[in-house]
Amino acid sequence: MYRISSAGLFIVGGLVAIAPALAQEETLYRSEVSVQALGSFTERTVDNGIAQNATNSGGVLANYRFLFNKYNGIEVNYGYTLNTQEYSWKTFKGGVNAYSNEATAAYVLQHPVGRVTPFLEAGVGALVFDPNHTPLAGVQARTTFVYGAGADINFSEHFFLRGEYRGLVYDSPGFGLPGIDDRVTHRAEPSLGFGFRH
């Protein structure tokens, strides 16, 4: 009995002694931040004879990612673009120039392979469309579903290049203008930028 207890204490003591080292290795590089240039490409939709589209544009995407381990994590994103929401019906064509602010949160699944870390993501968030110099159009927020895939290419332990594709599914903005109903649309956002992990 004494030998078993001593062996048990030795094992437990050994685990307690190496636990800080294991915990330190597990918590290493848990946080990542990146800034990326993005492109914004919105799908054209038609509802009740009124076509809606948005001009292609560019913007910026900022990201913070927290990893639970080397395979799983969560991230929050903020994106900004400026484009014109275009509406056309028969011979009429008009548009609303608007700032687009996006805030999303997503689950991230990744799998490091050498210097490359491919990843998938899915989550939800909001798009806020803020008209620029259009008196009759009001600010409008839209719930959005976001999904994506990409990869990080490591330059060093701390710095990496991130390329990714994100898709956003949401109701296109009508800005409270008469005759413009909500309709589901899709925005494609390819992006490329640099990041830092700690």
Tell me whether residue 6 is in a domain: no
Reported pTM: 0.79
**What is the model's pLDDT at position 78?**
98
**What is the model's pLDDT at position 11?**
46
Domain that holds residue 63: 30-197
Residue 112: DSSP 8-state: -
Tell me whether residue 155 is in a domain: yes
Tell me whether residue 158 is in a domain: yes
Tell me whether residue 94 is in a domain: yes
Tell me whether residue 14 is in a domain: no
Render the burial of 163-190: b for 16+ CB within 10 Å, e for the rest: ebebbbebbbbbbebeebeeeebebebb
Distance from C-alpha of 164 to C-alpha of 63, rounded to nearest angstrom: 12
Tell me whether residue 184 is in a domain: yes
Distance from C-alpha of 84 to C-alpha of 94, rounded to nearest angstrom: 10
Distance from C-alpha of 104 to C-alpha of 143, rounded to nearest angstrom: 10
Residue 32 contacts residue 68 (beta carbons within 8 Å): no
Q: pLDDT tens digits, the chain, 198 residues: what are they?
A: 444 445 444 444 554 444 444 444 444 568 999 999 999 999 988 877 778 889 999 999 999 999 999 999 999 999 999 998 888 887 777 788 889 999 999 999 999 999 999 999 999 999 999 988 767 777 889 999 999 999 999 999 899 999 999 999 999 887 876 667 678 999 999 999 999 998
Tell me whether residue 10 is in a domain: no
Tell me whether residue 20 is in a domain: no
Question: Which CATH number is 78's domain given?
Answer: 2.40.160.20
| Total number of domains constituting the chain | 1
